[in-house]
Amino acid sequence: MAEANRQIVLDQLPQGAKLGPEHFRLSESEVPQPGEGEILLRTRYISLDAANRAWMQGATYRAALSSGQVMAGGALAEVVVSNAAHLKPGDLVFADTGWQDYAVLPAKRLQKLPDMAPVTHLMSVYGIAGLTAYFGLLECGQPKPGETVVVSAAAGSVGSIVGQIAKLKGCRVIGVAGGAEKGRWLVEELGFDAVLDYKAGGLRQQMKEAVPEGIDVYFDNTGGEIFETCLFAMKNFGRIACCGAVSQYDGAPPPHGPRGIPGLIVTKRLTLRGFVVMDFDAQREKALADLQAWVASGQLKVQEDIIDGLENTPAALIGLLAGENRGKRMIRV
């Protein structure tokens, strides 16, 4: 075992500024020792999520982060020392370890993950990203064959899976993503019908041309202007699955909310449903079985973006917020 525990500390909250390397520092402490009912974990892959940034803004479904704490985050981690019967050294778990080499956590919160190759799929398609895409689209969006589905942050970890599941369900799929290169990849490799480049400007016109008949289901990862554009393009009785608001996590608060609320919700008889992936824990097994079958048949392609080195975690999150990633970004520790 290594002598020291390297930790990335959230040195100061960004306070309305864009997240930068100056908000983090690398520090070292002793490797912690597990007590009764506790487990010592070694992090192997740290998950990078837009939500990491949202937690810095205030309380969400978890408490707000504060300056001076080890940066919070989920990781695929290996049991090193176990003081519980249901886990043994070498077992893999998904745990809220934070950005560090080692963490001690209560055993009762941890569950052994199945053996799998590659193990990284446990963090992408069979982890939070895959389950969020599955439940958000199928439970909240309720897409039907022949309908038009639009998804934002379409080349990201959640969005790239949403679009592929919608295609599997017989829908016409339009992505919204930054840059022509991402658009080409989504159409040519993942089978999207079209992708709109919100960074090129004129999104409302692009939307009109791509979906002249209107949107049945909008899977919203971004909020902001993309949300507003889709709201105006919704068909009557359309459904919006509100998954996240990545356009509003990094930097100053947005100047105003989207126009069209509540007027368009009324006149178009829209259903907006917010959700958090944990809401659907009871249906997890069925979702995982479906996702596994689609991956095995080649109908669902898994895109992972793996970066080496704990010390690169801050830059990897800053880059994710700037749109560097394709698919699920993670750090190999």
Q: Which range of residues in 20-28, 50-58, 73-81, 86-94 is near ligand NAP by CB under 6 A?
A: 50-58
Task: Based on the shown chain and the rule CB under 6 A, indicate whether residue 82 belongs to the binding site for ligand NAP.
Answer: no
157 touches ligand NAP by CB under 6 A: yes
Tell which residue, 214, 225, 212, 204, has the closest CA to residue 149.
Answer: 214
- Asked if 300 contacts 164 with a C-beta cutoff of 8 angstroms, the reply is yes
**Residue 303 binds ligand NAP (CB under 6 A):** no
> In what helix (H) or strand (E) does residue 320 lie, and over which residues does it extend?
helix 313-321
Write out the binding residues for ligand NAP, residues 113-152 only, by CB under 6 A: 128-129, 132
Asked if 50 touches ligand NAP (CB under 6 A), the answer is yes
Which window, 79-87, 162-170, 244-252, 284-292, contacts ligand NAP (CB under 6 A)?
244-252
Which member of 238, 244, 260, 314 binds ligand NAP (CB under 6 A)?
A: 244
Distance CA(333)–CA(104), nearest Å, equals 17
Contact status: 178 vs ligand NAP (CB under 6 A): yes
Judged by beta carbon, residue 153 or residue 234, the one nearer ligand NAP is 153
Residue environment code for 6-21, b if the CB has 16+ CB neighbours within 10 A, otherwise e: bbbbbbebbeeeebee
Q: List the one residue from 166, 318, 320, 333 that touches ligand NAP (CB under 6 A).
A: 320
Q: Which of 246, 302, 310, 330 binds ligand NAP (CB under 6 A)?
A: 246
Please tell me the distance from the alpha carbon of residue 50 to that of residue 53, in angstroms, as a whole number: 6
Residue 135 beta carbon to ligand NAP: minimum distance, rounded to whole angstroms: 8
CB 248 within 8 A of CB 56: no
| CA 326 to chain centroid | 12
State in angstroms the smallest separation of the CB of 33 from ligand NAP: 33
Instruction: 197-204: list long-range contacts, CB under 8 Å, 24+ apart.
Output: 198/152, 198/225, 198/226, 203/176, 203/229, 204/229, 204/232
Torsion sign, CA atoms 55, 316, 308, 164:
positive
Q: How far apart are the C-alpha atoms of 246 and 193, rounded to whole Å?
A: 24
Decide if residue 46 touches ligand NAP (CB under 6 A). no
Q: Is 287 in the site for ligand NAP (CB under 6 A)?
A: no
Cis peptide bond prior to 262, omega within 30° of 0:
yes
Site string for ligand NAP, 200-229 (x = CB under 6 A): ---------------------xx---x---
Binding site for ligand NAP (CB under 6 A): 49-51, 54, 128-129, 132, 153, 155-159, 177-179, 182, 198, 221-222, 226, 243-247, 275-277, 320-321, 323, 325, 329
